[in-house]
Structure 1
Amino acid sequence: MLQVLACGAAIVTLSMGIRHGFGLWLQPITQELGWTRQSFALAIAIQNLAWGLLGVLAGMLADRFGAFRVLVGGALLYALGLAGMAWARTPLLFALSAGVLIGAAQAGTTYAVVYGVLGRQIAPHKRSWAMGVTAAAGSFGQFLMVPVEGGLLLHLGWQQALLALALLALLIVPLAWGLREPGFQGAAHAPRAQSAGQALREALACPSYLLLMAGYFVCGFQVVFIGVHMPSYLKDHGLSPQVGSQALALIGLFNVLGSYAAGVMGQRMPKRFILAAIYFARAVAISVFLLLPLSPLSVYVFSAVIGLLWLSTVPPTNATVAQIFGVQHLSMLGGLVFFSHQIGSFWGVWLGGYLYDRTGSYDTVWLIAIALGVFAGLVNLPVREAPYRRAAAQSV
């Protein structure tokens, strides 16, 4: 169990840590190449959509053949996509590299694939805790990597910094060796109680699963809008770029605590209450942030608070999916619910760039994020966490 946790956490640290810093590249790239913010935001929006859509496929492949091959392929795509970002000279090429390639890479190197291994290898009474540890690792990756990326930008320039990150992404390949499942018998080698199609139809007919998807849509909208656009929002209001970089790092640091705490609490109390509380608290935190005078101190306090709530939705959401449907198709079902998250991410990051270019302000998107937080809190309350009752007993 220790090897699986350590390697899974390290992979998520790298994969999530690199992507959390993409907002730092918005102004250097758009200013040097003469692009609008919408052009950059659209590429990142496509990235999130591709990540979510291909995450379902990556999950199906990991459930069928094991996670190792998927992780190696994802690492290679990550390096190729980062190099493509450095060399792209048109918005189309940038969207193909930063959007499609890196989206596919993230589908194969983040939570859906890693959580599938955890679900199969770790006992149910420790599953939520283990997912919390891995989510905390992703948060630590943000705390660790955002300052690293800021330093690379400062000392190497944005192109060489992206190439350096491409080399770092290749470290996922040796780490994936620790997530091999030598005794794993996927659907290609052993009969299963459910086919992938049956599992999908069952999940999409379950109201609680659909409510989890609705809440996760909001999570994606909020975190990706803030992660990509907040550095520029702060700079627009006269704060230094270092404040934006430090704000993202603080979000990552405090999310280590929030994600771990959510995983631990998920073992002891209904996960729907944890999720509802997180979404309501986000709405309150954003509202207070907008009402107070903007200063480095208010930014750092907001970053700490929102950091506690950042990826803390991940462990209880995925643990609830496992609790309802079992672990046989967990990577695929986790990937599908994450697809909803990424649709929200698409709208959050693209709408931020679109409305900024049209109005010169992010105010409308901040207000949408508040309203969606209230909505997500409400829709998680009716979720039923009991195992799904099937017409015929099936082992999961």
Structure 2
Amino acid sequence: MTPRSYWTAVWCGFLVLTIGLGVRQSFGIFLKPVSAELHVGRELFSFGTAVSMLLMGAVAPFSGRLADRFGSAPTIAGGGAVYVLGMIVTATMHDGFMLILGNILVGIGLSAATFGPVLGVILRVAPPAKQALAVGICSAGGSFGQFFIVPLAAVLQSYFGDWRPTMWALTILAVLIMVLPIGLNDRKEIAASKKGSGGSQTTREALAEAFGLRSYVLLVTGYFVCGFHVAFVGGHLPAYISDKGIGLSLFGIELTPIELGGWAIGMVGLFNIAGAILWSSMGGRYKRKNLLTLLYLLRSLVFLGFMIAPLSAASVLIFAGSLGFLWLGTVPLTTSLVGFIFGPVHVTMLNGIVFFGHQVGSFVGGWGGGLLFDLQGNYDTMWWISIALGLVSAAMHWPIVEERLPRAAALQPA
């Protein structure tokens, strides 16, 4: 693929992640109004989003296998169609059953239209010397979605005074996920990588090789914590700020607590645009496993600072910016590390399995936040759990051995 065409793939992937993850992250804006209208507790809403996260990960290895075999473009477009169907169900829901069904479809759709298949394209089409930067820029699309779409959803919610028109607007935006994969064609690269490997390694052999490697198991397990953090903060921070009644008045601009919550999630996304690019760029110069260790350790320190500092609009925005710098820096580091160790042939499937570990964490973090709130009336326990898990994940990434397997080294030069 020429330099011009691989950058086309990078920017198309950027937009797919912007829309897919931005719309999904905006669901936290709807937690309170949907729970009130449908007469369900926060636990059921949180359970629905958690099921979506879990399915997003559980189906990811199968979506990855489809992308590895038939190409990423049709896989991502198909996932976009299922995603839109789930959004339609969500926008028209009137009971708990439709809430769960909509989230199930959104989760299945996103499994094929998120980091695994999209970054799999970038790892195949970008030259080795440019992979770190290309993956970082593409990954930042998810962060830009948070920065742009989540605050937009909060503003629309305040403008309409009703969550349904806002949900329909997001549904229309999601239709673009079905169109953008036209720039994500990697069939030639898939055929070339299979020819280079002699087509000798089967899916079963690739799985046995991966799970026989301690470092891969540590990556899968450690990624659980990233998912826990992302789902808890993304799903519950707006409601947490609203519960505390913290608004913002600055230069004559008044932000309600729910709008401040939306802007806080947007701040996370804004700072992670720079964070994702910087962390991935450092991943091209330093050992990625060491950077991941540092990143999770810093997350725990940021959570701790937020817990012990007096709560105010300023502390919320400082927390959001600090966490944003660390938010999805894990994605390019983890994804490129899997590609580095195992090579390109089964990279989307193997990254899909790692992503499943992430989404199990998302399930626990998203649902657990709602469950503990309904039981305790606050989120205090979840904040302390987040601190502890960051330390655990840092300890798990430190012993990872960052070396290419001989088979992968033969396929792609360092």
TM-score range relative to shorter protein: over 0.9
Give the superposition deviation at 1:332: 0.4
Is 1:360 aligned to residue 377 of structure 2? yes
Q: Which residue of 2 aligns with 1:72?
A: 77
Give the superposition deviation at 1:125: 2.0
Kindly provide the CA deviation profile for residues 1-56 of structure 1, in whole angstroms up to 9, marking residues without a partner as x.
Answer: 11111111111111111111110010010011111000000000000100001111
Q: Which residue of 2 aligns with 1:3?
A: 8
Q: Which residue of 2 aligns with 1:335?
A: 352
Q: Which residue of 2 aligns with 1:372?
A: 389
Q: Which residue of 2 aligns with 1:57?
A: 62
The worse-fitting range, judged by mean Cα deviation, of 276-285 and 176-185 is 176-185
Change (3 A) 1:272 1:87: same
Match of 2:264 among 236, 244, 247: 247
The worse-fitting range, judged by mean Cα deviation, of 381-390 and 17-26 is 381-390
Give the superposition deviation at 1:302: 0.4
Counterparts of 2:342 and 2:411, CA distance in 1:
10
Percent of residue pairs identical: 38
Q: Which residue of 1 aligns with 2:227?
A: 220
Q: Which residue of 2 aligns with 1:142?
A: 146
Q: Which residue of 1 aligns with 2:116?
A: 112
Give the superposition deviation at 1:68: 1.1
Q: Which residue of 2 aligns with 1:382?
A: 399
Give the superposition deviation at 1:389: 4.2
Name the SS of the counterpart of 1:328 in structure 2.
coil
Counterparts of 1:155 and 1:196, CA distance in 2:
51
Counterparts of 1:359 and 1:172, CA distance in 2:
39
Name the SS of the counterpart of 1:293 in structure 2.
coil
Structure 1: 5+ residue stretches without partners: none
Give the superposition deviation at 1:162: 1.2
Give the superposition deviation at 1:236: 1.3
Counterparts of 1:310 and 1:184, CA distance in 2:
31
Work out whether residues 66 and 184 of structure 1, in 8 Å CA contact, stay in contact via their aligned partners in 2. no
The worse-fitting range, judged by mean Cα deviation, of 210-219 and 123-132 is 123-132
Q: Which residue of 2 aligns with 1:169?
A: 174
Match of 2:239 among 232, 236, 241: 232
Is 1:152 aligned to residue 169 of structure 2? no
Give the superposition deviation at 1:193: 2.9
Work out whether residues 49 and 342 of structure 1, in 8 Å CA contact, stay in contact via their aligned partners in 2. yes
Is 1:206 aligned to residue 213 of structure 2? yes
Work out whether residues 26 and 40 of structure 1, in 8 Å CA contact, stay in contact via their aligned partners in 2. yes
Change (3 A) 1:186 1:155: farther
Counterparts of 1:153 and 1:70, CA distance in 2:
32
Instruction: Figure out how many residues of one structure are paired with residues of the other and give that number.
Output: 393
Counterparts of 1:243 and 1:81, CA distance in 2:
27
Give the superposition deviation at 1:393: 9.1
Give the superposition deviation at 1:394: 6.8
Work out whether residues 68 and 348 of structure 2, in 8 Å CA contact, stay in contact via their aligned partners in 1. yes
Change (3 A) 1:56 1:285: same
